[in-house]
Amino acid sequence: MKSLYDDNVAKEFTSDLEFRVYTSRLLGGDSSLVLHGGGNTSVKSIIDGEDILYVKGSGWDLATIEAEGFAPVKLDVLKQMATLTKLSDTEMVSQQKEAMIDKSAPNPSVEAILHAIIPFKYVDHTHSDAVVTISNSENGIELIKEVYPDYLIIPYVMPGFILAQTIYNELKNIDWDSCEGIILHNHGIFTFDNDPKKSYKKMINGVTKAEDFLEKNAPLVIEKYMPRAELDIENLQRIISKEKGYDVFVKVNQSPLALHYASQRNIQDIATRGVLTPEHIIRTKRNPMIIEDSDIQKAIDLFEEEYLEYYNEFTANEIMINPTANWAVVKNYGTVSFGKDEKEASIIEDINNHTMKAVLQADMLGGYKSISLSDCFDMEYWELEQAKLKK
Ligand SMILES: [Zn+2]
Protein backbone atom coordinates (compact mmCIF):
# COMPACT_ATOMS: atom_id res chain seq x y z
CA MET A 1 0.00 0.00 0.00
CA LYS A 2 1.41 3.35 -1.05
CA SER A 3 1.37 6.55 0.95
CA LEU A 4 -0.58 9.28 -0.80
CA TYR A 5 0.67 12.01 1.51
CA ASP A 6 1.77 14.99 -0.55
CA ASP A 7 4.02 17.50 1.24
CA ASN A 8 3.17 20.09 -1.41
CA VAL A 9 -0.49 19.90 -0.51
CA ALA A 10 0.17 19.72 3.22
CA LYS A 11 2.44 22.77 3.28
CA GLU A 12 -0.63 24.98 2.92
CA PHE A 13 -2.14 23.74 6.18
CA THR A 14 -1.87 25.80 9.34
CA SER A 15 -4.34 24.23 11.79
CA ASP A 16 -4.45 20.80 13.45
CA LEU A 17 -7.88 20.24 11.99
CA GLU A 18 -6.74 20.94 8.41
CA PHE A 19 -4.13 18.19 8.70
CA ARG A 20 -6.74 15.93 10.27
CA VAL A 21 -9.21 16.43 7.43
CA TYR A 22 -6.48 15.84 4.85
CA THR A 23 -5.13 12.52 6.13
CA SER A 24 -8.63 11.32 7.06
CA ARG A 25 -9.64 11.77 3.44
CA LEU A 26 -6.54 9.94 2.24
CA LEU A 27 -7.54 6.97 4.41
CA GLY A 28 -11.21 7.22 3.52
CA GLY A 29 -10.47 7.28 -0.20
CA ASP A 30 -9.20 3.71 -0.09
CA SER A 31 -12.04 1.17 0.18
CA SER A 32 -9.64 -1.52 1.38
CA LEU A 33 -9.16 0.57 4.54
CA VAL A 34 -12.66 1.83 5.30
CA LEU A 35 -16.06 1.34 3.72
CA HIS A 36 -19.14 3.52 3.93
CA GLY A 37 -18.73 5.34 7.23
CA GLY A 38 -16.34 2.79 8.76
CA GLY A 39 -13.20 3.76 10.67
CA ASN A 40 -12.57 6.99 12.51
CA THR A 41 -9.84 9.53 13.18
CA SER A 42 -9.14 12.26 15.70
CA VAL A 43 -6.83 15.10 16.67
CA LYS A 44 -6.19 16.64 20.08
CA SER A 45 -6.06 20.41 20.01
CA ILE A 46 -6.34 23.40 22.34
CA ILE A 47 -9.33 25.72 22.04
CA ASP A 48 -9.48 28.78 24.33
CA GLY A 49 -6.97 27.17 26.68
CA GLU A 50 -8.89 23.90 26.94
CA ASP A 51 -7.83 20.46 25.64
CA ILE A 52 -10.28 19.35 22.98
CA LEU A 53 -10.55 16.08 21.07
CA TYR A 54 -11.84 16.52 17.54
CA VAL A 55 -13.18 13.10 16.63
CA LYS A 56 -15.07 11.92 13.57
CA GLY A 57 -18.76 12.64 13.94
CA SER A 58 -21.28 9.89 13.30
CA GLY A 59 -22.96 10.10 9.92
CA TRP A 60 -19.76 11.35 8.28
CA ASP A 61 -17.65 9.35 5.86
CA LEU A 62 -13.84 9.64 6.06
CA ALA A 63 -13.64 9.84 2.25
CA THR A 64 -15.55 13.11 2.11
CA ILE A 65 -15.21 14.48 5.64
CA GLU A 66 -14.92 18.24 6.23
CA ALA A 67 -13.78 20.16 9.31
CA GLU A 68 -17.42 20.38 10.48
CA GLY A 69 -17.60 16.57 10.37
CA PHE A 70 -15.44 16.41 13.50
CA ALA A 71 -17.08 16.68 16.90
CA PRO A 72 -15.15 18.86 19.40
CA VAL A 73 -15.31 17.15 22.80
CA LYS A 74 -13.65 18.09 26.11
CA LEU A 75 -10.70 15.73 26.40
CA ASP A 76 -10.68 15.62 30.22
CA VAL A 77 -14.31 14.51 30.33
CA LEU A 78 -13.65 11.65 27.90
CA LYS A 79 -10.56 10.53 29.85
CA GLN A 80 -12.56 10.63 33.08
CA MET A 81 -15.29 8.50 31.48
CA ALA A 82 -12.73 5.80 30.69
CA THR A 83 -12.12 5.30 34.43
CA LEU A 84 -15.77 4.51 35.25
CA THR A 85 -16.47 0.90 36.21
CA LYS A 86 -19.81 0.81 34.45
CA LEU A 87 -21.54 2.88 31.81
CA SER A 88 -24.22 1.93 29.31
CA ASP A 89 -23.55 2.85 25.69
CA THR A 90 -26.67 5.02 25.67
CA GLU A 91 -25.34 6.91 28.68
CA MET A 92 -21.88 7.11 27.07
CA VAL A 93 -23.31 8.67 23.92
CA SER A 94 -25.30 11.17 25.93
CA GLN A 95 -22.32 12.14 28.17
CA GLN A 96 -20.08 12.53 25.13
CA LYS A 97 -22.65 14.81 23.55
CA GLU A 98 -22.91 16.78 26.76
CA ALA A 99 -19.12 17.37 26.68
CA MET A 100 -19.10 18.94 23.22
CA ILE A 101 -18.12 22.60 23.07
CA ASP A 102 -20.24 23.13 19.97
CA LYS A 103 -23.69 21.64 20.31
CA SER A 104 -24.41 21.98 16.60
CA ALA A 105 -21.59 19.54 15.73
CA PRO A 106 -22.44 15.92 14.88
CA ASN A 107 -22.48 13.24 17.60
CA PRO A 108 -18.96 12.02 18.43
CA SER A 109 -18.01 8.53 17.25
CA VAL A 110 -18.74 5.69 19.71
CA GLU A 111 -14.98 5.14 19.72
CA ALA A 112 -14.29 8.70 21.05
CA ILE A 113 -13.11 7.57 24.52
CA LEU A 114 -10.65 5.21 22.91
CA HIS A 115 -9.19 8.06 20.88
CA ALA A 116 -9.01 10.22 24.01
CA ILE A 117 -6.97 7.76 26.08
CA ILE A 118 -4.29 7.23 23.42
CA PRO A 119 -1.78 9.91 24.45
CA PHE A 120 -0.83 11.11 20.98
CA LYS A 121 -2.08 14.10 19.04
CA TYR A 122 -3.22 12.21 15.92
CA VAL A 123 -5.02 8.87 16.09
CA ASP A 124 -6.00 6.95 12.95
CA HIS A 125 -8.33 3.93 12.94
CA THR A 126 -9.31 1.78 9.95
CA HIS A 127 -10.98 -1.57 9.36
CA SER A 128 -8.29 -2.62 6.86
CA ASP A 129 -9.35 -5.63 4.80
CA ALA A 130 -5.87 -7.15 4.95
CA VAL A 131 -5.66 -6.88 8.74
CA VAL A 132 -9.12 -8.30 9.39
CA THR A 133 -8.61 -11.06 6.82
CA ILE A 134 -5.65 -12.39 8.81
CA SER A 135 -7.46 -11.73 12.07
CA ASN A 136 -10.61 -13.57 10.87
CA SER A 137 -8.82 -16.84 10.28
CA GLU A 138 -8.65 -20.03 12.27
CA ASN A 139 -5.32 -19.13 13.95
CA GLY A 140 -5.90 -15.42 13.59
CA ILE A 141 -4.53 -14.27 16.91
CA GLU A 142 -1.26 -16.20 16.47
CA LEU A 143 -0.85 -14.96 12.91
CA ILE A 144 -1.56 -11.38 13.98
CA LYS A 145 1.07 -11.68 16.73
CA GLU A 146 3.53 -12.94 14.14
CA VAL A 147 2.84 -10.07 11.71
CA TYR A 148 2.62 -7.41 14.43
CA PRO A 149 5.25 -8.11 17.11
CA ASP A 150 5.43 -4.40 18.04
CA TYR A 151 1.69 -3.85 18.38
CA LEU A 152 -0.67 -4.09 21.32
CA ILE A 153 -3.15 -6.82 20.36
CA ILE A 154 -6.62 -6.78 21.92
CA PRO A 155 -8.80 -9.91 21.62
CA TYR A 156 -12.30 -9.18 20.31
CA VAL A 157 -14.44 -6.92 22.45
CA MET A 158 -17.61 -5.29 21.20
CA PRO A 159 -17.28 -1.59 20.22
CA GLY A 160 -18.62 0.92 22.73
CA PHE A 161 -17.79 1.60 26.39
CA ILE A 162 -16.61 -1.92 27.20
CA LEU A 163 -13.96 -1.72 24.47
CA ALA A 164 -12.78 1.69 25.68
CA GLN A 165 -12.58 0.31 29.23
CA THR A 166 -10.65 -2.79 28.10
CA ILE A 167 -8.09 -0.66 26.30
CA TYR A 168 -7.89 1.80 29.20
CA ASN A 169 -6.84 -1.10 31.45
CA GLU A 170 -4.36 -2.44 28.88
CA LEU A 171 -2.74 0.96 28.46
CA LYS A 172 -1.90 1.31 32.16
CA ASN A 173 1.25 -0.79 31.77
CA ILE A 174 2.16 -0.05 28.20
CA ASP A 175 5.58 1.07 27.01
CA TRP A 176 4.64 3.56 24.32
CA ASP A 177 8.19 3.69 22.94
CA SER A 178 7.90 0.12 21.74
CA CYS A 179 4.26 0.23 20.63
CA GLU A 180 3.76 0.87 16.93
CA GLY A 181 -0.01 0.61 17.02
CA ILE A 182 -3.00 -1.37 18.29
CA ILE A 183 -4.80 -4.26 16.61
CA LEU A 184 -8.39 -4.88 17.63
CA HIS A 185 -8.94 -8.53 16.80
CA ASN A 186 -11.73 -9.15 14.22
CA HIS A 187 -12.23 -5.39 14.00
CA GLY A 188 -9.34 -3.21 12.80
CA ILE A 189 -6.13 -1.30 13.47
CA PHE A 190 -5.08 1.93 15.24
CA THR A 191 -1.96 3.99 14.63
CA PHE A 192 -0.96 7.25 16.32
CA ASP A 193 1.71 9.93 16.46
CA ASN A 194 2.07 13.56 17.38
CA ASP A 195 2.73 14.26 13.72
CA PRO A 196 -0.15 13.78 11.22
CA LYS A 197 2.08 12.49 8.44
CA LYS A 198 3.78 9.96 10.71
CA SER A 199 0.48 8.68 12.10
CA TYR A 200 -0.86 8.24 8.56
CA LYS A 201 2.36 6.58 7.38
CA LYS A 202 2.29 4.19 10.34
CA MET A 203 -1.17 3.13 9.14
CA ILE A 204 0.11 2.59 5.61
CA ASN A 205 3.14 0.64 6.88
CA GLY A 206 1.01 -1.38 9.28
CA VAL A 207 -1.48 -2.36 6.60
CA THR A 208 1.35 -3.14 4.17
CA LYS A 209 2.66 -5.73 6.65
CA ALA A 210 -0.69 -7.55 6.42
CA GLU A 211 -0.87 -7.17 2.64
CA ASP A 212 2.64 -8.62 2.24
CA PHE A 213 1.76 -11.51 4.53
CA LEU A 214 -1.35 -12.30 2.48
CA GLU A 215 0.45 -12.02 -0.81
CA LYS A 216 2.94 -14.59 0.41
CA ASN A 217 0.63 -16.93 2.30
CA ALA A 218 -2.79 -16.53 0.69
CA PRO A 219 -2.38 -15.34 -2.91
CA LEU A 220 -5.88 -15.18 -4.37
CA VAL A 221 -6.36 -16.25 -7.97
CA ILE A 222 -9.83 -15.46 -9.29
CA GLU A 223 -10.76 -18.16 -11.75
CA LYS A 224 -12.85 -17.41 -14.83
CA TYR A 225 -16.33 -18.79 -14.35
CA MET A 226 -19.32 -18.30 -16.60
CA PRO A 227 -22.81 -18.16 -15.08
CA ARG A 228 -24.14 -21.71 -15.14
CA ALA A 229 -27.50 -21.06 -13.51
CA GLU A 230 -30.53 -18.92 -14.22
CA LEU A 231 -32.30 -16.68 -11.75
CA ASP A 232 -35.83 -15.37 -11.97
CA ILE A 233 -34.97 -11.86 -10.75
CA GLU A 234 -38.53 -10.55 -10.90
CA ASN A 235 -39.76 -13.41 -8.79
CA LEU A 236 -36.93 -12.90 -6.28
CA GLN A 237 -37.66 -9.18 -6.07
CA ARG A 238 -41.37 -9.83 -5.60
CA ILE A 239 -40.85 -12.36 -2.82
CA ILE A 240 -38.19 -10.34 -0.97
CA SER A 241 -40.36 -7.19 -1.22
CA LYS A 242 -43.28 -9.07 0.27
CA GLU A 243 -41.14 -10.41 3.12
CA LYS A 244 -39.64 -7.01 3.88
CA GLY A 245 -42.87 -5.10 3.46
CA TYR A 246 -41.57 -2.58 0.91
CA ASP A 247 -40.37 -2.57 -2.70
CA VAL A 248 -36.73 -3.62 -2.65
CA PHE A 249 -34.11 -2.62 -5.18
CA VAL A 250 -32.16 -5.70 -6.27
CA LYS A 251 -28.59 -5.43 -7.49
CA VAL A 252 -27.05 -8.37 -9.31
CA ASN A 253 -23.30 -8.92 -9.10
CA GLN A 254 -21.68 -11.22 -11.65
CA SER A 255 -18.17 -9.81 -11.37
CA PRO A 256 -15.35 -12.38 -11.72
CA LEU A 257 -15.07 -12.43 -7.89
CA ALA A 258 -18.82 -12.95 -7.35
CA LEU A 259 -18.91 -15.71 -9.98
CA HIS A 260 -15.84 -17.40 -8.53
CA TYR A 261 -17.38 -17.28 -5.06
CA ALA A 262 -20.83 -18.47 -6.14
CA SER A 263 -19.28 -21.31 -8.13
CA GLN A 264 -17.62 -22.93 -5.11
CA ARG A 265 -18.94 -26.43 -4.62
CA ASN A 266 -19.70 -26.10 -0.89
CA ILE A 267 -21.03 -22.53 -1.07
CA GLN A 268 -23.54 -23.17 1.72
CA ASP A 269 -20.64 -23.76 4.15
CA ILE A 270 -18.30 -21.17 2.68
CA ALA A 271 -20.64 -18.20 2.66
CA THR A 272 -22.30 -18.56 6.06
CA ARG A 273 -19.46 -17.84 8.48
CA GLY A 274 -20.18 -14.27 9.44
CA VAL A 275 -19.10 -10.69 8.85
CA LEU A 276 -15.68 -9.24 8.13
CA THR A 277 -15.86 -6.46 10.72
CA PRO A 278 -18.64 -6.16 13.34
CA GLU A 279 -20.35 -3.00 12.08
CA HIS A 280 -21.10 -4.67 8.73
CA ILE A 281 -23.76 -6.75 10.43
CA ILE A 282 -26.08 -3.75 10.58
CA ARG A 283 -26.03 -3.57 6.76
CA THR A 284 -25.71 -7.19 5.68
CA LYS A 285 -26.90 -9.32 8.61
CA ARG A 286 -24.52 -12.06 9.69
CA ASN A 287 -24.97 -14.19 6.56
CA PRO A 288 -26.51 -14.10 3.09
CA MET A 289 -29.26 -16.50 2.06
CA ILE A 290 -28.08 -19.24 -0.26
CA ILE A 291 -30.12 -20.01 -3.37
CA GLU A 292 -29.12 -23.36 -4.84
CA ASP A 293 -32.05 -24.10 -7.12
CA SER A 294 -35.16 -22.45 -8.56
CA ASP A 295 -37.13 -22.74 -5.32
CA ILE A 296 -36.53 -19.21 -4.05
CA GLN A 297 -39.30 -19.34 -1.47
CA LYS A 298 -37.73 -22.42 0.11
CA ALA A 299 -34.38 -20.65 0.41
CA ILE A 300 -36.03 -17.64 2.03
CA ASP A 301 -38.00 -19.78 4.46
CA LEU A 302 -34.85 -21.61 5.49
CA PHE A 303 -32.96 -18.36 6.05
CA GLU A 304 -35.77 -16.91 8.16
CA GLU A 305 -36.14 -20.08 10.17
CA GLU A 306 -32.43 -20.01 11.03
CA TYR A 307 -32.60 -16.29 11.77
CA LEU A 308 -35.46 -16.88 14.22
CA GLU A 309 -33.50 -19.63 15.95
CA TYR A 310 -30.55 -17.27 16.35
CA TYR A 311 -32.77 -14.48 17.63
CA ASN A 312 -34.55 -16.76 20.11
CA GLU A 313 -31.29 -18.18 21.39
CA PHE A 314 -29.82 -14.82 22.39
CA THR A 315 -32.65 -12.36 22.86
CA ALA A 316 -33.49 -10.72 26.15
CA ASN A 317 -36.59 -9.10 24.73
CA GLU A 318 -35.06 -6.93 22.03
CA ILE A 319 -37.24 -5.79 19.14
CA MET A 320 -36.67 -8.32 16.35
CA ILE A 321 -35.32 -6.99 13.09
CA ASN A 322 -37.11 -8.17 9.93
CA PRO A 323 -35.73 -11.70 9.50
CA THR A 324 -35.35 -11.61 5.71
CA ALA A 325 -31.86 -11.73 4.19
CA ASN A 326 -30.21 -8.54 2.93
CA TRP A 327 -28.30 -10.38 0.22
CA ALA A 328 -28.14 -13.74 -1.49
CA VAL A 329 -25.44 -15.93 -2.95
CA VAL A 330 -26.98 -17.71 -5.94
CA LYS A 331 -25.08 -20.88 -6.76
CA ASN A 332 -23.28 -20.76 -10.12
CA TYR A 333 -24.84 -17.37 -10.82
CA GLY A 334 -23.40 -14.60 -8.59
CA THR A 335 -24.74 -12.51 -5.74
CA VAL A 336 -27.80 -10.30 -5.36
CA SER A 337 -28.06 -7.45 -2.84
CA PHE A 338 -31.39 -6.08 -1.60
CA GLY A 339 -31.76 -2.44 -0.54
CA LYS A 340 -34.57 -0.01 0.08
CA ASP A 341 -33.07 1.90 -2.86
CA GLU A 342 -30.15 1.62 -5.26
CA LYS A 343 -27.79 3.37 -2.83
CA GLU A 344 -28.41 0.90 -0.04
CA ALA A 345 -28.15 -2.09 -2.39
CA SER A 346 -24.81 -0.74 -3.66
CA ILE A 347 -23.45 -0.30 -0.13
CA ILE A 348 -24.40 -3.89 0.69
CA GLU A 349 -22.79 -5.09 -2.54
CA ASP A 350 -19.56 -3.21 -1.78
CA ILE A 351 -19.36 -4.82 1.66
CA ASN A 352 -20.03 -8.25 0.13
CA ASN A 353 -17.22 -7.80 -2.37
CA HIS A 354 -14.72 -7.12 0.40
CA THR A 355 -16.09 -9.96 2.51
CA MET A 356 -15.98 -12.56 -0.30
CA LYS A 357 -12.35 -11.77 -1.04
CA ALA A 358 -11.44 -11.99 2.64
CA VAL A 359 -13.26 -15.31 3.07
CA LEU A 360 -11.44 -16.88 0.12
CA GLN A 361 -8.07 -15.63 1.39
CA ALA A 362 -8.65 -16.57 5.04
CA ASP A 363 -9.57 -20.06 3.86
CA MET A 364 -6.02 -20.31 2.53
CA LEU A 365 -4.79 -19.47 6.04
CA GLY A 366 -6.60 -22.43 7.57
CA GLY A 367 -10.21 -21.27 7.46
CA TYR A 368 -12.26 -18.08 7.70
CA LYS A 369 -13.51 -17.46 11.24
CA SER A 370 -15.50 -14.41 12.27
CA ILE A 371 -16.82 -13.36 15.68
CA SER A 372 -19.14 -15.76 17.55
CA LEU A 373 -22.90 -15.92 17.09
CA SER A 374 -23.40 -14.38 20.48
CA ASP A 375 -21.02 -11.48 19.67
CA CYS A 376 -22.89 -11.02 16.40
CA PHE A 377 -26.16 -10.80 18.25
CA ASP A 378 -24.77 -8.22 20.69
CA MET A 379 -23.73 -6.08 17.74
CA GLU A 380 -26.89 -6.54 15.67
CA TYR A 381 -29.08 -5.91 18.71
CA TRP A 382 -26.88 -3.23 20.31
CA GLU A 383 -28.94 -0.87 22.47
CA LEU A 384 -27.88 2.02 20.21
CA GLU A 385 -29.31 0.23 17.18
CA GLN A 386 -32.45 -0.75 19.10
CA ALA A 387 -32.95 2.91 20.03
CA LYS A 388 -33.08 3.76 16.29
CA LEU A 389 -35.77 1.11 15.80
CA LYS A 390 -37.82 2.43 18.71
CA LYS A 391 -37.87 5.85 17.02
ZN1 LIG B 1 -13.79 0.52 14.37
Distance 312 CA to ligand 1 centre (A): 28
Q: What is the pLDDT of residues 240-268, one digit of tens each?
A: 999 999 999 999 999 999 999 999 999 99
Query: How far does residue 39's CA lie from ligand 1's centre (Å)?
Result: 5
Looking at the predicted structure, is the pLDDT value of residue 390 above 90? no
Task: Assign 329 a pLDDT band (cuts: 50, 70, 90).
Answer: very high
In this model, does residue 338 exceed pLDDT 90? Answer: yes
Distance from residue 187's CA to the centre of ligand 1 (Å): 6
Residue 391 has pLDDT above 90, yes or no: no
What's the 265 CA to ligand 1 centre distance in angstroms?
Answer: 33
Q: Report the separation in Å between the CA atom of 126 and the middle of ligand 1, taken as the mean of its atom positions.
A: 6
pLDDT tens, residue by residue, 354-381: 999 999 999 999 999 999 999 999 999 9
Separation of 170 CA from ligand 1 center, angstroms? 18
d(CA 120, CA 41): 12
Find the mean pLDDT for residues 148-159: 96
Output the average pLDDT for the chain: 96
The DSSP line for 175-210 is: -GGG--EEEETTTEEEEEESSHHHHHHHHHHHHHHH
CA of 90 to the centre of ligand 1 (A): 18
Ligand 1 centroid to Cα of residue 185, in Å, is 11
How does pLDDT run across 62-102, given as a tens digit for each residue? 999 999 999 999 999 999 999 999 999 999 999 999 999 99
pLDDT at residue 90, as a whole number: 95
Condensed to tens digits (0 to 9), the pLDDT of residues 34-50 reads: 998 899 999 999 999 99
238 CA from centroid of ligand 1 (Å): 36
- Does pTM top 0.85 for this prediction? yes
Ligand 1 center–CA 274 separation, angstroms: 17
The span from the CA of 387 to the CA of 391, in Å, is: 6
C-alpha span between 337 and 329 (Å, rounded): 9
pLDDT of residue 131: 98
Q: Which pLDDT belongs to residue 387?
A: 86
Q: What is the pLDDT of residue 281?
A: 95
Q: 87 C-alpha to center of ligand 1: Å?
A: 19
Encode pLDDT of 126-141 as tens digits.
Answer: 999 999 999 999 999 9
Pick the more confident residue, 390 or 135: 135
Phi-psi region of 332 (alpha: psi -120 to 50; beta: other; left: phi over 0): left
Residue 98 CA, ligand 1 centroid: distance in Å: 22
pLDDT at 57: 96
Residue 158 — very low, low, confident or very high, per pLDDT cuts 50/70/90?
A: very high
In 3D space, the residue among 11, 2, 16, 25 whose CA is nearest the CA of residue 196 turns out to be 16
Contacts of 374 (CB under 8 A, 6+ apart): 314
* Cα-to-centroid distance, 35 and ligand 1 (Å): 11
Partner residues linked to 184 by β-bridges: 154, 188
- How far is residue 186's CA from residue 141's CA, in Å, rounded to a whole number? 9
Over residues 176-194, the mean pLDDT reads 97
Distance 73 CA to ligand 1 centre (A): 19
d(CA 190, ligand 1 centre) in Å: 9
